[in-house]
Amino acid sequence: MGKIIDQLLKDDPERRLEYIAVARLHDPIEIQQFYEEYKGWLVEYLPEEVQKGRSLESMISTNLGYVIGYLNDPKQRKIWYDIIGPMHPVFGRC
């Protein structure tokens, strides 16, 4: 898939990718690279959602926004929001 995603899944194959990424990625460059890889991962692993007409940006916003909204560190949350722009599906931008 991609260098970052492959490593995250190898290190922690039992957890969902979104949780692993948000917990482990702190560097803005790595987060940006993850974002690019994640778009391809969604197309490959959730093609039915893409075929239903959901945009990748909407899927990313919902999937990652949910996880990011629960981060305890507001600085880390801001880094993710600034790079990817996701929104928590219930609370909006936290």
State the chain's mean pLDDT as an integer: 85
For the whole model, what pTM was predicted?
A: 0.82
Task: Please report which confidence band the pLDDT of residue 26 belongs to, taking 50, 70 and 90 as the band edges.
Answer: very high
Task: Please report which confidence band the pLDDT of residue 86 belongs to, taking 50, 70 and 90 as the band edges.
Answer: low
Query: Quick count: other Cβ atoms within 10 Å of Cβ 64?
Result: 26
Mean pLDDT computed over 84-93: 64
